């Protein structure tokens, strides 16, 4: 038997958001995709305006959280961290963790074509929900909910940064040790011309840190940087 939508929304607030709306109609709008409205004779409001608001709220909330959590980080690194945490992939991941897709009101075509798992739809819906919370209880409510979800479901910000931009993270780690920036050397290109493999080595002060092989030089450099970071984190300095 299908669960009562009202009960389902209540459980979503209590168990997943851990936030109860004073004005539940805001949540309903946040979960309404434009494709649903397009199929209605008397279309309700869709979530695009709340998404617009939530995008701005999220940037401010994350700026505030990162500023508080990392008091020693310079502006440039804070900006990169915020960008990584705000991107569609990260937001869609958060939305999936709280099963937001199951509650979305989608058009029949969109639902049939996998809309409930589509990254862009999930990310936009997450922003819309955050915008709805802001309308419901202001900045403090939005900040509290966002902080809970990030602490519960999102990887540690530096881990996100390493995954998204390992070359930048490696350069930051190397420079923090007063070493010259890392360099990348193409060791070999092998395989048939239509599917080449690029082997790349990352070095610091002429010393090799790691190697990697991938289908493009750019990807091989990223993989080599990630392996170098893993090796550095597992080295003797980790326990100093």
Specify the CATH number for the domain of residue 183. Answer: 3.30.160.20
- Does residue 201 have an active-site annotation? no
Is the distance from CB of 217 to CB of 198 less than 8 angstroms? Answer: yes
Q: How far apart are CA 40 and CA 10, in angstroms?
A: 25
Mean pLDDT of 186-198: 93
* Residue tagged 């809970």 (tokens): 148
Same domain, 20 and 98: yes
- For 16, 20, 131, 142, the CA distances from 55, given in Å and listed in that order, are 20, 21, 8, 12
Confidence tier at 56 by pLDDT (50, 70, 90): very high
Number of domains the chain contains:
2
As a whole number of angstroms, the longest Cα–Cα distance in the chain is 69
Confidence tier at 233 by pLDDT (50, 70, 90): low
Mean pLDDT of 150-163: 70
Per-residue buried b or exposed e for 4-17, using 16+ beta carbons within 10 Å of the residue's own CB: eeeeebeebeeeeb
The one catalytic residue among 46, 77, 124, 127: 127
pLDDT at 74: 78
Residue 238 predicted with pLDDT over 50: no
**Token code pair at residue 150:** 């990030």
- Gyration radius from the chain CA atoms: 22
Which one-letter DSSP state was computed for residue 206?
T
Q: Which of 4-13, 102-111, 142-151 has the highest mean pLDDT?
A: 102-111
Residues in Cβ contact with 65 at an 8 Å cutoff, skipping those fewer than 6 apart = 143, 146, 147, 150
Same domain, 136 and 214: no
Q: How far apart are CA 234 and CA 225, in angstroms?
A: 14
Higher pLDDT, 201 or 172: 201
The one catalytic residue among 55, 64, 119, 197: 55
pTM for this entry = 0.69
Same domain, 134 and 188: no
Same domain, 32 and 69: yes
Same domain, 149 and 173: no
- Does residue 75 have an active-site annotation? no
Mean pLDDT of 173-202: 90
Same domain, 172 and 97: no
Partners of 139 in beta bridges:
none
The mean pLDDT of the chain is 87
- Residue 96: closest CA among 126, 73, 75: 126
Q: 50 is in which domain, residue-wise?
A: 5-156
pLDDT at 175: 78
Question: Which secondary structure element, helix H or strand E, spans residue 204, and what is its range?
Answer: strand 197-204
């Amino acid at each position: 038997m299908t669960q009562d939508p009202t009960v389902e929304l209540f459980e979503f607030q209590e168990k997943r958001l851990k936030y109860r709306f004073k004005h539940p109609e805001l949540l309903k709008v946040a979960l309404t995709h434009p494709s649903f409205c397009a199929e209605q004779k008397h279309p309700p409001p869709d979530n695009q305006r709340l998404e617009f608001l939530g995008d701005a709220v999220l940037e401010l909330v994350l700026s505030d959280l990162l500023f508080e959590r990392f008091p020693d980080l310079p502006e440039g690194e804070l900006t990169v961290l915020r960008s990584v945490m705000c991107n569609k992939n990260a937001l869609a991941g958060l939305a999936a963790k709280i099963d937001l897709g199951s509650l979305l009101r989608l058009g029949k075509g969109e639902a049939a074509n996998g809309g409930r798992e589509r990254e862009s739809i999930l990310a936009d819906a997450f922003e819309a929900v955050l915008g709805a919370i802001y309308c419901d209880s202001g900045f403090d409510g939005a900040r509290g909910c966002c902080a809970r979800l990030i602490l519960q479901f999102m990887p540690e910000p530096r881990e996100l940064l390493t995954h998204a931009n390992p070359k930048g993270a490696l350069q930051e780690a190397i420079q923090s040790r007063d070493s010259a920036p890392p360099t990348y050397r193409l060791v070999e290109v092998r395989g048939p011309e239509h599917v080449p493999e690029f082997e790349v080595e990352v070095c610091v002060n002429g010393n090799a840190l790691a190697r990697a092989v991938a289908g493009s030089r750019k990807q091989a450099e990223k993989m080599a940087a990630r392996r170098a970071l893993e090796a550095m984190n597992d080295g003797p300095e980790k326990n100093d």
